[in-house]
Chain A
Amino acid sequence: EDQVTQSPEALRLQEGESSSLNCSYTVSGLRGLFWYRQDPGKGPEFLFTLYSAGEEKEKERLKATLTKKESFLHITAPKPEDSATYLCAVQAGKGNNRLAFGKGNQVVVIP
């Protein structure tokens, strides 16, 4: 069974204080690892897909990296508008298109 564990569950950062979120996974044949951002009262917003170990992707202050066992979402010099819950999900190589999600990293950036 595909499993995704995210840590820390909650994180409070000062504005400008860089940090990293961790997503550890076990999956039978990784097809893709996904990061989403979810604001309160809204649906998840797609950020990145990573397909193979060593791959990196960036978007503004966010950078996602992937190894064979985990992914990191680095937040560089965060701003209050980066406050959100960040969700990690994996998709296995076999079977249907089901995404297996972690519980999320809740990030609060304090001005």
Chain B
Amino acid sequence: SAVISQKPSRDICQRGTSLTIQCQVDSQVTMMFWYRQQPGQSLTLIATANQGSEATYESGFVIDKFPISRPNLTFSTLTVSNMSPEDSSIYLCSVAAGLRETQYFGPGTRLLVL
């Protein structure tokens, strides 16, 4: 498995501002992912963070709104830009680890946009 930490654990932000969420893993991993979990909804993949290249975004998510960095094999950031109340959600980082590349999740960042 992998030990994953996220910062901040929670935040309350004003609309129109941006927040950067950090994800740190205790071992080098090839694949890191960012998910969103909205109230009453299932986890939805935002993008795959690729080390050394641009992130791969899922349908409905764009780089201008959710820029991602992946400077090395243990760290990634997700920025939620120009926030609106609809961005209030839990944002989760995950990594693929082990022989079968099982995905393990961080504790999440709880974001409330006013």
Contacts and interface: CB of A to CB of B under 8 A. Distances in A.
B56 interface: yes
Q: Is the interface of B mostly helix, strand, loop or mixed?
A: strand
Interface in B72-114: 92, 96, 100-108, 110
B53 interface: no
A99 B43 contact: yes
Contacts of A32: 100
Contact of B102 (A4, A49, A98, A104): A49
A43 B103 contact: no
B19 interface: no
B18 interface: no
Interface residues of A, number: 21
Contacts of B102: 34, 46, 49
Interface size bracket, B side: 20 to 34
Nearest to B103: A99
Interface string A34-65: 10100001111110010000000000000000
A87 B104 contact: no
B33 interface: yes
Contacts of B104: 46
A43 B105 contact: yes
A42 B108 contact: yes
Given A42-B107, A46-B1, A46-B102, A97 B96 contact: yes
Given A41-B108, A101-B43, A103-B41, 12 more contacts: A32-B100, A43-B105, A43-B106, A44-B92, A45-B105, A49-B102, A87-B42, A98-B48, A99-B43, A101-B42, A103-B40, A104-B42
Interface of A: 4, 32, 34, 36, 41-46, 49, 87, 89, 96-99, 101-104
